[in-house]
Amino acid sequence: MNAEERLRAEVTRAALAIGAPEGFEPVLERPREHAHGDWATTAALVLAKALRRKPADISRDLVAALDATAAGVAESAVAGPGFINFRLDAARLAAGLHGVLAQGRAFGRGNTGAGRAVNVEFVSANPTGPLHVGHGRQAALGDAISALLAHSGWKVTREFYYNDGGGQIERLRDSVHARIVGAPLADDQYHGEYVKDVASAFVTDLAPRLGVSEAEAVEHVRRRWRDDAGLRDDVRRFAVAYLRAEQDADLKAFGVAFDVYYLESSLYSDGKVASTIEALKATGHTFELDGATWLRTTDFGDDKDRVMVRSAGKGGEPTYFVPDVAYHVTKWERGFTRAVDVQGADHHSTVTRVRAGLQALGIGIPQGYPEYVLHQMVTVVRGGEEVKISKRAGSYVTVRDLVDEVGRDAVRYFFLMRKGESQLVFDVDLARSQSEENPVYYIQMAHARLSGIFRVGGISAESVTGESVDWGQLGAPEERELVKAILDWPSLAAGAAEALEPHRVAGWLLDTARLVHLWYHKHHVLGEPEPVMRARLALASAARITLANALGLLGIAAPERM
RNA sequence: GCGCGAGUAGCUCAGCUGGAUAGAGCGUCGGCCUCCGGAGCCGAAGGUCGUGGGUUCGAAUCCCGCCUCGCGCACCA
List pLDDT tens digits, range A196-245: 999 999 999 999 999 999 999 999 999 999 999 999 999 999 999 999 99
Question: How long is the CA A424 to C1' B69 vector, in angstroms?
Answer: 13
Percent over 70 (pLDDT), chain A: 97
* Whether A219 CB is under 7 Å from strand B: no
Whose C1' is closest to the CA of A513: which nucleotide? B40
**Of residues A28 and A145, more confidently modeled:** A145
Instruction: Tell which residue, A421, A408, A411, has the closest CA to residue A377.
Output: A421
- The answer to whether the beta carbon of residue A87 comes closer than 7 angstroms to any atom of strand B is no
Name the protein residue, with chain letter, whose CA is nearest the C1' of B32: A521
A36 CB contact with strand B at below 7 Å: yes
A501 lies in a domain? yes
**A172, A82: one domain:** no
User: Average per-residue pLDDT in chain A?
Assistant: 90
A124, part of any domain? no
Does the C-beta of A168 come within 7 A of strand B? yes
Nearest nucleotide to the CA of A441, by C1', is B39
| Distance, Å, A205 CA → B15 C1' | 56
Specify the CATH number for the domain of residue A37: 3.30.1360.70
Contact A62, A43 (CB under 8 A): yes
Same domain for A534 and A444, yes or no, is yes
The DSSP string of A370-433 is SEEEEEPPEEEEETTEEEPPBTTTTB--BHHHHHHHH-HHHHHHHHHSS-TTS-EEEEHHHHHH
* Termini Cα distance of chain A: 38
Average pLDDT over residues A67-81: 87
**Could you tell me the distance in Å between the CA of residue A419 and the C1' of nucleotide B25?**
16
Q: Is residue A371 part of a domain?
A: no
In a domain, A326, yes or no: no
State which residues between 92 and 131 of chain A bring their CB within 7 Å of strand B. Answer: 126
pLDDT at residue A393, as a whole number: 56
Distance A412 CA to B59 C1' (A): 34
pLDDT of amino acid A423: 85
CB proximity A50–strand B (7 Å threshold): no
Asked whether the beta carbons of A47 and A58 are under 8 A apart, the reply is: yes
Give the orientation angle of helix A439-457 with respect to helix A503-522, to 10 degrees: 50
A25 phi and psi angles, rounded to 5 deg: -125, 110
Q: Which residues of chain A (472-501) touch nucleic strand B at CB < 7 A?
A: 492, 495, 498-499, 501
pLDDT reading at A364 higher than 80: yes
pTM of the model: 0.93
Q: What is the Cα–Cα distance from A333 to A318, expressed in whole angstroms?
A: 22
pLDDT tens, residue by residue, A252-293: 999 999 999 999 999 999 999 999 999 999 999 999 999 999
Band (A431; pLDDT cuts 50, 70, 90): confident
pLDDT exceeds 60 at position A394: no
The alpha carbon of residue A209 and the mean position of all alpha carbons in its chain are separated, in whole angstroms, by 45
What nucleotide is nearest A491 when CA is compared to C1'?
A: B16
- The pLDDT of residue A207: 95
CB of A421 lies under 7 Å from some atom of strand B: yes
Q: Which nucleotides of B are covered by protein (CB under 7 A)?
A: 2-7, 12-17, 19-27, 36-42, 57, 70-77
**Residue A532: pLDDT band with limits 50, 70, 90:** very high
User: Which nucleotide is closest to A55, CA to C1'?
Assistant: B57
A442 shares a domain with A532: yes
User: How many structural domains does chain A have?
Assistant: 3
- The answer as to whether A385 is a domain residue is no
Q: Which residue has the higher pLDDT, A79 or A259?
A: A259
**pLDDT tens-place string over residues A19-42:** 888 888 888 888 877 778 888 898
Please give residues of chain A from 175 to 194 whose alpha-adjacent beta carbon (CB) lies under 7 Å from any atom of strand B. Answer: none
CATH number at residue A443: 1.10.730.10
Which of A182, A208, A243 terminates a domain? The answer is A243
Residues 270-329 of A with CB under 7 A from strand B: 289-292, 303-304, 306-307, 310-311, 313-315, 317, 319-321
**pLDDT at A392 > cutoff 60:** no
Using the 3D structure, point to which of A222, A243, A264 is the last residue of a domain.
Answer: A243
A27: containing domain: 3-88
Strand B contact with A34 (CB < 7 A): no
| Residue A403, domain member (yes or no) | no
What digits encode the pLDDT tens for the residues A454-494? Answer: 999 999 988 999 888 999 999 888 899 999 999 999 999 99
Note the CA–C1' distance, A561 to B38, in angstroms.
16
What's the pLDDT at A193?
Answer: 85
In this structure, is the CB of residue A345 within 7 Å of any atom belonging to strand B?
yes
Rounded percentage of chain A residues whose pLDDT exceeds 90: 62
- Whole-number distance in Å between A54 CA and B57 C1': 9
Closest CA to A278 of A305, A312, A241, A318: A318
Instruction: Give CA–CA dist A106/A203, Å, rounded.
Output: 53
- CA of residue A411 to C1' of nucleotide B22, angstroms: 29
A225 phi/psi in degrees, rounded to 5: -50, -50
Which of A45, A62, A88 terminates a domain? The answer is A88
| Per-residue pLDDT, A213 | 95
Is the pLDDT assigned to residue A516 strictly greater than 70? yes
Nearest nucleotide to the CA of A449, by C1', is: B37
Q: Is A376 a domain residue?
A: no
Among all protein residues, pick the one whose CA is nearest to the C1' atom of B24: A511
Q: Taking 60 as the threshold, does the pLDDT of residue A60 lie above it?
A: yes
Task: Look at phi and psi of residue A458 and say left if phi exceeds 0, alpha if psi is from -120 to 50, else beta.
Answer: left
Whether residue A546 is found in the same domain as residue A443:
yes
Whether CB of A9 is under 7 Å from strand B: the answer is no
Predicted confidence band of residue A435 (pLDDT cuts 50, 70, 90): low
- What ipTM does this complex have? 0.94
Query: Cβ of residue A521 near strand B, that is under 7 Å?
Result: yes
Q: Flag whether A7 is in a domain.
A: yes
Protein residue nearest nucleotide B42, by CA to C1': A518
